[in-house]
Amino acid sequence: MSTTDTTANPKGKKSYDLYLSFCGVHDDVPFVLKLREALSSYVPEALIFFDFVKLRHIGRVTVTAPSELSLNVIQDCKMVIIILSRNYTNSQSCLQELEFITQCCLTIPALIVLPVLYPIEPSLQIGIFGQPFHNFLDRVSIKEISQGEDKIMTLVEAMSKSTQYPTDFAPMDGDEYDCVKSVVDRVISVIYKKRPELSRTFYTPSVKSSVQDVIQLLKQSKSPLVIGIWGIAGIGKTTIAKTIYDLIGPYFEGKCMLLNVGGVWGRNNGPVSLQEELLFHVNKATGFEKVTLKRNLRNKRVLVILEDVNKLEQLNALCGSRNWFGAGSKIIITTRDRRLLKEYGVDHIYRVKELDESESLDVFKWGAFGKETSPENFDELSRQVVAYSGGWPLALIALGRLLHGKEALQWEGVLWSLKNFSIPAPRLLNILEKSFNELSDNEKQTFLDIASFFIGKNQNDVLQTLNRSTQRAAFQISLLEDKSLVAIDENNKLEMHILLQAMARDIIKRESSSRTNQAKMYDVFLSFRGEDSRAKFMSHLYSSLQNAELERIMEISRARGLDVVPVFYEVDPAEVRHQEGQFGKAFEELRSTTSVNESTKTNWRRDLFDIGSKAGFVLKDSRNESGDVKNIVESVSRLLDRTELFVAEHQVGVESRVEAATKLLDIQKSEDVLVLGIWGMGGMGKTTIAKAIYNQIGSKFEGKSFLLNIREIWETNNQVSLQQQVLGDIYKTMTFKIRDIESGKIILKERLSQNRILFVLDDVNEVDQLNALCGSREWFGPGSRIIITTRDLHILNSCRVDQVHRIEEMDGNESLELFCWHAFKQSRPTKDFARHSTDVIAYSGGLPLALQVLGSYLSDCEIPVWQKVLEKLKCIPHNQVHKKLKVSFDGLKDITEKQAFLDIACFFIGMDRNDVTQILNGCGFFADIGIKVLIERSLVTVDNRNKLQMHDLLRDMGRQIIYEESPFDLEKRSRLWRPEEVFDILSKYTGTKAVKGLALEFPKTNKVCLDTKAFKKMNKLRLLQLARKGSLVAMELKYSNLKYSWNWSQKMLENLKFLNLSHSLELTETPNFDYMPNLEKIVLKDCPSLSSVSYTIGDLDKLLLINLSNCTGLGTLPRSIYGLKSLETFILSGCSLIDKLEEDLECMKSLTTLIVDKTAITKVSFSIVRSKSIKYISLPGFEGFSRDVFPSLIRSWMSPSKNVISLVQTFAPMSSLGLCMKCDSKPQLSQDVARILDALKATNCQKLEPSATSTPSRLINDYIAQASTSKSNNFLKSFLIQMGMKLQSTNIAQDNILQTADGIWDPILLPCYNISDWSTISSKGCSIIFDVPTMKGSNLKNMTLFLVYYSSSDNIASEGCQGVLIINYTKTTIQAYTKDALTSFEDEDWKSITSNLESGNKVEIVVVLGDGFIVEKTTVYLLYDEPIDKEMEHCNAIGKESVIAFSHEDKNVGVSDGDNIHVPMDHIITGSEQDEALSDDKHGQAMSRKRKSDYSNGIHYNA
């Protein structure tokens, strides 16, 4: 692949294949370069455009626009790869490029876009899209969608229009290698025009169109939206849903796709497991109550897909109502039942349509031939098969796989079956019957009647007939229509898919057949002609057909699975199949001379075709009839082989597990070699299930072998005997001689590949065993099945099995029944033993081995014996069970894995996997790998809350191993976990160096006094609730009586990572943290005596969490704590003496969670809202995500009525009504102005994002631009804001400024002074910048703001003013007031403003209006207590347009009934006059004077 440097001459235009869109910032560059290198290596023919100029800006987000060359390349290339990162979405240049790419998606159909999220955290997926990204969405979508539509979905729709295959999105779910590989695979499919892997083969244009249709529906509302996808089973609903999930999932805060909801719902505890899975995936939480779901989902934008729903109660439990979900959430439901969607009340129902003929052929050919084209002689056959599929994808796939590799004659046989309404693919039939089995009895009967008699008939006529025998026939038909089993065409005629008709006839045939369970008297029926059979096949045919013998044989074969072995004696099978040659002539002669109806003759042809298609023996011109007879006898012997394995005396729960596993084997896919792994812990019943499967399906194979207990035999070095047994089992002979393992491999591969084999390998524990016994799939003939049972999942993954079936524990009912059969020889316990039986069941934990062993052991025992046995089992496991389970432990190869297992068994069950991993890694156990191995060996499990779990019997097995280290001397055991044993050695100081781990749990009530001397001899202690070699890693001393004594050795604490002293009621101070440099978590909950935290806590540079909740005696915190840059979570909830947070809080750069509710804090610094890291915060009166809390907090500081928690003022104004603050620098001033504007406009304005170079003026301009709309058809209004000394209202103020045509005011009264001189400054827009005049002998007494603005008909009655900002650039101060605060102004409050406005200060005043209001002009009136003389210096007014100054005192400034402001032209400085007046100031200068103006009190709105 060649790459292009953008510094090259752009005139030499090239046609590029790929364009890489990325942000050249440090974090992104390594991945971008790695991707470019991979593309260069694996797609060398492609020409890529790589913008090296971006790499020159490493370290900063560029703001320059994309080059013209880049934009031209995007238009002309084949594919664009976008690296969507946080840096990318915060870059103006990148977003401009993305906007251009999006527009190209809409206008250039051939362009393919591949977004790549890098990096992305699943719990914060939406976090990658910052405010600039949402501004970008507004910009690109304003032309496309209405105000109520979902903007993110609009972007997804635009990009997905160009996707070529499903999941054309590469999120970073795995590591970078996986992501790069995924991108390269996509590029290869585009450049080389190759189909992707088989999983994408069926992504047809119809599927893509359906995906687009559904996304179009999803974007119609910002509110939670529910879409139903409806259609017959196998029509492609799940494919569409999965594709949508992959395409739009990354754009949500949480996502979950629950598969097979209907199936899981019916299982034991199914509803709860579905709810827990939904909670876990969306919120990384657990719970199963509806209220829990609602509480955890309602504040999130989530995507939830419920696949294959079949009951309304499932929807009520999993997605309740729309108010369960946050704004922008999408819920997609796939179902076969339209009525269910109607009853739930979905917003839209999307019906999945059948494929057209072209797409159907494409799908079918991929299944039948593995490519898009078919061999020439199969074109017409393919079209005929496709015609019977009716555009149904499932049928196309099933029939394609069925016919894969078959000859044309076999195709004709399948077509003949389809023509005769018979489904030749059992899997297809099973799926169809699933829909039928879910029907009620009445619906079933109506369906069968329609299929048999009423296809193509008018619905009214059908109803008239059915109503005679069926109640509510119309309702039954509507139900069938809702379930896609019946359709009604435009002529009101009933229609049904041809395969549904075939399924119905098959059901009827089975119901009517007279199948019995009587024992068979004979094994073989020999059908022959009594005369000499040589060359007498015709005579035998005549007799067989005349007597209906052949017809009956084939009927039984089809109905009951009877094995039929044809022997073609002196005749070719093809002649029998097609009735050709001499055979055909004889058959035609028979037809013409036999008086039977045409139906019978048709049946003859069908039976001859079937018998001629069966595998049999062709004896034509044979010279060795004895050999032929031997072959036939051997074949029949194999078919009659009844060698069955003993399964179990009481097969409780076996049938359902066998059925589940057998489905995975998919016996009907005869040409595939399939490997199934059966996995589970020891004693779970893996071998039992494998035996039952072997017995059930063994007869369907040409040979079979079951190797039992491979692990035990392998350990005896008798491996060759296993290879010998395989050949003996399959070929019924021991003549094969095997010298060694390697020669045995050659023989096995040569022999087994010739036959369809069933091969079971039991109890495999090493990969070498599989290499020696079953090598690879190439060793076996087509259609073979290999089953492997093992305790080690890693083995199955290593040999890449096709399916893994995990054996689940028995449920309560199964456990009780199995136990009772062994204990009482009946399925239920006797009355006296019921309670004790329940105790044994609980102890056994659903493990079949334990149930059988304990049941047999307790059989015929009296109740006292039972009681003693149960008591003993609590301490010492049963030897037989222990021995069986310990095999898995002994099989661990690495000592660290064994140590990790023992530590988990003794200390960590129920703990978070990540925490345990970190602790064990601290012990040097490489726990990331070790825990994975334990999970694969079924020794440990991880629940949906990421907690480590272990079967109780495995736990007891591990603890028994520790007990056996020293049964009688506690101090010589490596681990101690029982409280009484721990207290014994600690109180007696008997601990020794043998003790490596010790779980110390203080009782809540009894007082226990311990001395640290007890640990003196434990110099190998690595766990106190867990630890590392030579030092503690975790210390958990909850409910202890510690006060302040911390005489621990430094060496013991230097690797401590977890410290938990919660509920230590007498603890008064924390330790010196200098001894704990690696501490990560400090938990001191509910320590009421704690009054001091060591200042050394500030030196813990790895600390992640501090929890001091309910430490009611703690009044202060060391200042050093605010220097913790690694701290993520800080909890002070309930610390009722804590009354402040220092301004240094913003220095805690990693802090994401701050909880300080229920404290005495009444004031906080503005620095708290400057924090960029805090995501969740809880203050007195405020709680939630920072994006919601911070604006509310700022507004509360500006509103006296809402001031729950006040602001620590950084300069001292006389008023407390508003927000007054001083900033450290001008950049900080810009950032704080943006935050205040956001707070005032939080409900209707996009967030302002200041950069390092932004100024308040630029931010205000951005704010004004956001608020701008068209002025046409709007209403002109005005209002007056007056602040200052109390004045009497003058006629000028009342008549000239505030008077309107209709006299409507919206007054907010403010006090004024009575005598003033004033000057005015005016500017276009809602803000005005000026220099405070220098006055001699005059004091500023009053400031009045007058605004003229537009409002729309939608908000004409709304209040316009949200607040006022006074920004002093000279002093870098901000004063902000809400409208409510202004109404409360007194003289002292006014002085707080004037005291901060000194002569020469550069000041900007901003009036913030609500959404939809447009300010035409802002005028500021400055009132002084003495006349303004000529010595007053100039006042600068800086506006967006020319400055307008008013100078006469008796002229009106009126507002007409129209849209214009009428101002007397002779009083406005314009044109040349203005140029002259402003010649000394490039910004424009204007000053005028009015004398003795009286203003009425208040803020006045004028419309």
Which residues lie across from 330 on neighbouring strands? 225, 303
- Residue 1486 tokens, joined: 């204007």
Burial of 511 (0-12, 13-18, 19+ CB in 10 A): exposed
State which H helix or E strand residue 1320 sits in. strand 1317-1324
B/e letters for 29-42, b = 16+ CB within 10 Å, e = fewer, are bebbeebbebbeeb
Strand ranges of the sheet holding 1129-1131, from the earlier edge strand across to the other edge = 1026-1028, 1031-1036, 1058-1060, 1081-1083, 1105-1107, 1129-1131, 1153-1155, 1176-1179, 1182-1185
SS3 for 24-83 is CCCCCHHHHHHHHHHHHHHCCCCEEECCHHHHHHCCCCCCCCCCHHHHHHHHHCCEEEEE
DSSP state of 1247: P
The two structure tokens encoding residue 1015: 């640990």
CA separation for the pair 927, 912 (Å, rounded): 13
H or E stretch covering 1330: strand 1327-1331
For strand 494-495 and strand 487-488, is the pairing parallel, antiparallel, or unpaired?
Answer: antiparallel
The answer to whether residues 720 and 777 touch, using CB atoms and an 8 Å cutoff, is no
Q: How far is CA 1500 from CA 259, 997, 1359, 1363, 1412, in A?
A: 62, 77, 11, 14, 19
**Distance separating alpha carbons of residues 115 and 964, to the nearest angstrom:** 58
549, 570, 671, 1001: which is the annotated catalytic residue?
549
Cβ neighbours of 691 (radius 10 Å): 23
Q: Are 1144 and 1165 in contact (CB under 8 A)?
A: no
Q: Which residues contact 392 (CB under 8 A, 6 or more apart)?
A: 232, 234, 235, 354, 355, 497, 499
Residue 549 falls in the annotated catalytic set: yes
Pairwise CA distance, residues 48 & 226, whole Å: 42
Is the distance from CB of 1340 to CB of 1424 less than 8 angstroms?
yes
Classify the C-alpha dihedral 785-787-793-799 as positive or negative. negative
Q: What share of the chain is helix, strand, coil (3-state, %, to 5)?
A: 45, 15, 40
CA 802 – CA 672 distance, rounded (Å): 11
SS3 call for 1377: strand
Residues 6+ apart with CB under 8 A from 290: 275, 317, 320
Pick the closest to residue 732 from 821, 639, 835 (CA basis): 639
Instruction: Please give the single-letter amino acid code of residue 900.
Output: A
CA distance 1116 to 1094: 11
Angle of the 498-512 helix axis to the 426-437 helix axis, nearest 10: 80
- Supply the DSSP string of 600-615, one letter for each residue: HHHHHHHHHHHHHHS-
Element containing residue 1419 per DSSP (H, E): strand 1414-1424
CA dist 199 and 1472 (Å) reads 76
Cα 770 to its chain centre, rounded Å, is 36
- The size of the chain, in residues, is 1503
Running DSSP on this structure, what letter comes out for residue 1292? Answer: I
Catalytic residues: 549
